[in-house]
Chains A and B, each alone.
Chain A
Amino acid sequence: EVVLTQSPGTLSLSPGEGATLSCRASQSVPRTRLAWYQQKPGQAPRLVIYGASSRATGIPDRFSGSGSGTDFTLTISRLEPEDFAVYFCQQFGSSPLTFGGGTKVEIK
């Protein structure tokens, strides 16, 4: 099973600042098989990035994804109030599909 480790666990930032979230895999994951989700309290996760770098429908261009192999990054260029949430990475390079433990982006 591919283990995804996300860091940091919590990111305390102010609106307007940039955020860099890391997702490290225990073995190589094809770029096409890496996704990122945003989850707010009481809601289901929402797809943000698929294929490591493609934005999902309706996702603003301040969100970007990058990386390859075992290291992937989600970047939010300028945090808006609605961006404060928990972010998860997910892989399906090999079964079973797995998720990372999440990074909480909170208001400083």
Chain B
Amino acid sequence: QVQLQESGPGLLKPSETLSLTCTVSDVSITSYYWNWIRQSPEKGLEWIGYVHHSGNTDYNPSLNSRVTMSVDTSKNQFSLKLTSVSAADTAVYYCARWGVSCSGGTCSDLHAFDIWGQGTMVTVSS
């Protein structure tokens, strides 16, 4: 079954760059759009953005200037970089697949996240 697993440092200092990787199992990363979402008590669930292996991306404007996402097809992984972190970036970070439903040779976008990683806690503190 399809699985996603986040990895990366759990503790950062203010102004550092957050780097996370999501490893995708049992499906080709070229077949879907891939997302990062974070969750904190203060902001709730916050969509960070998506990336496609073609290079197509869309980022939340609230984070746009600090975010970069990329795909490594050779490793079946995608990644997130968030620069100049502060305490406000402390959250659980999830990677998630943008769902597609296929039937009879026709596929349609679910416009929802059908597979999520377990999440990784990232704390920003001096």
Contact = CB atoms under 8 A, between A and B. Distances in A.
Interface in A37-83: 37, 43-47, 50-51, 56-57
Interface string B100-126: 000000000011111011110000000
Interface residues on B, range: 20 to 34
B37 to A, nearest CB: 8
Contacts, number: 57
Contacts of B47: 96-99
B44 interface: yes
What secondary structure prevails in chain B residues at the interface with A?
A: strand
A47 B99 contact: yes
B60 A47 contact: no
Contacts of B99: 47, 50
B44 A50 contact: no
A46 B114 CA distance: 7
B111 A92 contact: yes
A56 B101 CA distance: 10
Interface of A: 32-35, 37, 43-47, 50-51, 56-57, 88, 90, 92, 95-99, 101-102
Interface of B: 44-47, 58, 60-62, 94, 96, 99, 110-114, 116-119
